[in-house]
Structure 1
Amino acid sequence: MKINIIKIPKIEDPRGNLSVIEKEVLPFEIKRVYYLYDVPAGAERGGHSHKEQQEFLIALSGSFDVIINDGKVEKSVTLNKPFEGLLITNGIWRELKNFSSGAVCLVVASDVFSEADYIRDFNEFLAISSK
């Protein structure tokens, strides 16, 4: 499956830690950054795949589960550390669930928003991924 947990460099300091995402950390140029927060209890986010775009998800605060599926295998990854993230390449279905209270999910993307890059129907995703 085309996913990978990547450690984000952490500079430890008694005054508070600092983590930095620079071009050496990710295998793509950063084109967009957005974040999810105030997700109500029981709500789910994601529910799509990308044709081209890659994304790097980080739990800046709290925790949440990322359910990923490549059309053959489904796997769950819990993100709960602000110094590591989940790299999801294109062609992977993702669903975000089980957000803890106060969770913040930062998403660093390889491209700007384009609705044409999304596959939002799971059956369509399965048909494309089986080719």
Structure 2
Amino acid sequence: MSVPHLIEFPKLGAPEIGYISVTEQQKLLPFEVARIFWTYYTPESIVRGRHAHHATEQVLVAVAGRIIVTTELADGTIQTFRLEDPFVGLYVPPNAWHTMQYSHSAVQLAFASAPYSEADYIRNYDDFKRIWQGR
């Protein structure tokens, strides 16, 4: 079973000219990307996420600002990640309940392994525990 972990993308450039980070299909991302989305202007008091997936894998990147991501596995393992470098992504497997809190200026870029499907979301915490504890 996969666990949440950080992925460091190359940071190419220098302070005097700026930087670029890049990846190509399945070089650093552990899946083929089927959907890309981004969130922004999220009030700091809002906690987003509060779900897991049946199948979708994601990599989350704070391309601006700060994002605190908390993951929980069905066995009770909880991890907190502070994303604030645009060359670091967080792999979130389908078996992880996750929440995100953003600084107001945060922009989150998300790479997902599947197109959006509401049926893939597990939005009830008790259902998440029941579904993933049995695997």
TM-score normalized by the length of structure 1? 0.94
Between stretches 31-40 and 16-25, larger displacement belongs to: 16-25
Which residue matches 1:109? Answer: 112
- For residues 89 and 8 of structure 1, the distance between their equivalents in structure 2, rounded to whole angstroms, comes to 18
Between stretches 30-39 and 13-22, larger displacement belongs to: 13-22
Point out where structure 1 has 5 or more consecutive residues left out of the alignment.
Answer: none
* Displacement after TM superposition at 1:100 (Å): 1.3
Which residue matches 2:24? Answer: 22
Which residue matches 1:75? Answer: 79
Which residue matches 1:3? Answer: 4
* Displacement after TM superposition at 1:27 (Å): 1.1
Give deviations 1:13-72, integer Å, cap 9, x for gaps. Answer: 432100112121111111110011000120111111011110000000010110100022
Which residue matches 1:85? Answer: 89
Supply the RMSD in Å over aligned alpha carbons: 1.1
- For residues 123 and 29 of structure 2, the distance between their equivalents in structure 1, rounded to whole angstroms, comes to 25
TM-score normalized by the length of structure 2? 0.92
Point out where structure 2 has 5 or more consecutive residues left out of the alignment.
Answer: none
Which residue matches 1:127? Answer: 130
Sequence identity (%): 33
The answer to whether residue 64 in structure 2 is matched with residue 61 in structure 1 is yes
Question: Alignment length, in residue pairs?
Answer: 130
* Displacement after TM superposition at 1:9 (Å): 1.3
Runs of 4+ deviating beyond 6 Å: none
- For residues 116 and 100 of structure 1, the distance between their equivalents in structure 2, rounded to whole angstroms, comes to 30
Give deviations 1:50-98, integer Å, cap 9, x for gaps. Answer: 111100000000101101000221111111100011001111100002x
